[in-house]
């Protein structure tokens, strides 16, 4: 659960103001997996030709989530300063870049394997607007989201069709047995 105290702790620790839209997203659920999993980009990366993978956001806790930024920077050899890491898996991270500002960070992608840093967009609001669900059925390593509502609707339709067919067969049997 996101608390005002944790937001204040993070802002005091980093000496910045977190984007209101980031805080609003975390108010719904303080970190975790997203409904979307991709962000379109115009730079080469190891994930895909046209997007990066971003399926979760780090939350805010006293010793977890974005508060682990310094640990992650040290662990993965990230030299870029003035950042808050908000997602990633070690080989690549998405971060808020506060270089030159304390209130309006850009969103960047950090590739720890190549040490490349690329701007994704000018704000967290812009990031939210461009995120989408990537579909790649050939990729066995990427966990695919299952649309359970659609699956259940399909199962319900099949059950109804089977019931109708059963009723027709039963009525036909009853009709024929009357003649015998």
pLDDT tens for 110-159 read 999 999 999 999 999 999 999 999 875 555 554 444 555 566 666 777 77
The gap from C-alpha 45 to its chain's centroid, in whole angstroms, comes to: 18
Domains of the chain, by residue range, sit at 4-130, 146-180
83-88 vs 56-57, strand pairing mode: unpaired
pTM across the whole model: 0.74
Q: What is the pLDDT of residue 180?
A: 55
d(CA 110, CA 89): 11
In CATH, which of 3.40.190.10, 3.90.1640.10, 3.90.640.10, 3.40.1580.10 is domain 4-130?
Answer: 3.40.1580.10
- 54 in the Ramachandran plot: left (φ > 0), alpha (ψ -120 to 50) or beta? beta
End-to-end CA distance of the chain: 71
What are phi and psi for residue 83, nearest 5 degrees? -125, 160
Task: Give the DSSP letter of residue 37.
Answer: -
């Amino acid at each position: 659960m996101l608390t005002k105290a944790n937001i204040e702790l993070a802002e005091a620790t980093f000496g910045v103001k977190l984007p209101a839209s980031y805080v609003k997203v975390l108010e719904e659920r303080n970190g975790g997996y997203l409904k979307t999993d991709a962000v379109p980009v115009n730079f080469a990366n190891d994930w895909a030709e046209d997007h990066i993978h971003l399926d979760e956001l780090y939350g805010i806790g006293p010793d977890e989530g974005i508060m682990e930024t310094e640990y992650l920077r040290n662990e993965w050899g990230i030299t870029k300063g003035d950042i808050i890491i908000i997602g990633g898996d070690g080989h690549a991270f998405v971060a808020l870049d506060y270089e030159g500002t304390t209130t309006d960070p850009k969103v960047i992608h950090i590739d720890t394997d190549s040490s490349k840093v690329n701007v994704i967009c000018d704000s967290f609001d812009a990031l939210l607007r461009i995120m989408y669900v990537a579909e790649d059925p050939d990729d066995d390593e990427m966990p695919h989201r299952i649309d359970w509502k659609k699956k259940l609707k399909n199962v319900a339709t099949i059950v109804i069709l089977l019931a109708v067919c059963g009723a027709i067969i039963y009525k036909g049997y009853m009709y024929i047995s009357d003649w015998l």
